[in-house]
Amino acid sequence: MTVTSNKWCARTFFIVSAFLFAGAGVQAQPISAYLYGQNHWLADGDEGRVGYIHNLWPQVKASGVKTVRIGGNGYERNFPSRNQLNKMVDNIKSIGAEPLLQIPRHFSDEATKELVAYYTRKGNRQIKFWSIGNEPMLHEEYTIEEIHQYLVRIAKAMRRAGPDIKIFMFDEAWLRIPEYSALVGGRLDVVGLKENGRWLIDGVNFHSYPNGPKFVRDDVVFTGPKKILDQVLELQTLIKNANAKYQRKGDAALLWGLTEFNVTYHNPDREVSGYGNTSFLAGQFTAEIFGYGMQYSAYMLNPWCINESDAVATDFGYLGLPREFYPRSSYYHMQLLSTYLLGEFIASSDNQAYVKTIATRDAGTIAIMIMNQHQTDTFEFSLSFSKSSASVKSPLQINVAANLDKTFSSHIAAQSTRVYVFDKNASLQKTISYSLQDNMVFKAPQVE
């Protein structure tokens, strides 16, 4: 990528950010109770490999995870035994989270009904959230007509056995617009169908790994998030039109989720100071995507994955290598969001392309996460709690749509993240800081 294209990406990102803040995008949205998710991978013995997830549940709980998907290619091909699955469900429930269980696309109607009936009967293993299949078009195994056929068949069997469960589809590797358009209100529509007195499908999922084997740092800062945002906006349009077409309103409105994502599917750079899935920058990327989820009412977002440390090429986990399993930047950024950014998303903006912000409020607090992704520059900033610019100008000007005539000033160092927690009147209560330097020495975010 040339310098010219980098500047173009930076300008484009800022224009989009300002556009959303100005009112074209969502201004305030409740944050889903199930937003913060993860993927259950890798358990010991999966694909004959060594996994450590059985020891990691206390750390997973501490990150604030609320949904854990039992899915992906491994479980699509080798579905867990009932004993294995029971342990997975018990572990997920034990940390106060809910499973999202993927039914393989090759399951028969009888096997589907038995599985759903087993995990919806009274007891501690009830599963609310279900999906069907994983990335069926990644290697062109299935046509959209074949996908439509198995989706309808399996979803009908699921709905007969579990009328109250939530069923999501179809977890493709990226948002293929022609195929999703066909299924969501189009020629092969499934979201307008009903079975057993309920809508057949409750939500639409997709995956996104916006970078491949060759990319640069600015792709993680600009083009990668922009690709995911564009997909989210395209899916929003499909869902809005389908809801209107079939008059799906209120609790019946279609949900959506991003059930796999990370910086890249290839992970060529594993340095903490670099820009791959294990880097400090990847944590800021993860937080930015969660911010989109807040803004556009995602039901759940599930990065890939908890821990996969037996192969360098697929070491994507938010918990690091044995024996210490140090939390990575993606872990701590999720923890910061789930701990401090509560209630509802509110709009924010700034005037520096390498700075990203996410803001929330609840009954008693206003919180903002500020992420400086610049490699060298520290920014003095002025934060205004209204849409209009503060009277005091700073190199970095941040605006939060909190409708308060208050300002706050501070600074943020290069390659660092800060969370500021204010009371409802915009008086500072707490500052939490985390940086590349902290990440390099396995240091957790610090409350100042």
3-state secondary structure at position 333: helix
Task: Tell me what percent of the residues of the chain surpass a pLDDT of 70.
Answer: 93
User: Residues 102, 69, 155, CA angle at the centre, nearest 5°?
Assistant: 25
Note the pLDDT of residue 312. Answer: 86
Mean pLDDT over 3-7 rounds to: 33
Please check the confidence at residue 19 and state whether its pLDDT lies above 70. Answer: no
Higher pLDDT: 435 or 4? It is: 435
Question: For position 391, what pLDDT does the model report?
Answer: 59
pLDDT tens digits, 234-274: 999 999 999 999 999 999 999 999 999 999 999 888 899 99
Q: Which amino acid is present at 168?
A: F
Token pair in block for residue 171: 């977890």
| The pLDDT of residue 14 is above 50 | no
Closest of 201, 103, 94, 208 to residue 156, by C-alpha: 201
How do beta strands 348-350 and 255-261 pair? unpaired
Q: What is the pLDDT of residue 4?
A: 29
What confidence tens digit (pLDDT) does each residue in 226-242 have?
999 999 999 999 999 99
Paired with 410 in beta bridges are 381
- Report pLDDT for 389: 60
Position 311 scores a pLDDT of: 87
Please report the pLDDT score of residue 222 as a whole number: 98
Across residues 266-284, what is the average pLDDT? 95
pTM: predicted TM-score of the whole model, two decimal places: 0.94
Is residue 201 within 8 Å of 168, Cβ to Cβ? yes
Q: Which two tokens stand for residue 56?
A: 């990691």
Tokens read off for 378: 């520290």
The DSSP call for residue 46 is G
70 half-sphere exposure, CB direction, 13 A CA radius: 28
* Sequence letter at residue 343: G
Q: Is 233 exposed, middle or buried (0-12, 13-18, 19+ CB in 10 A)?
A: middle
Whether the pLDDT of residue 444 is over 60: the answer is yes
- Residue owning tokens 């173009």: 8
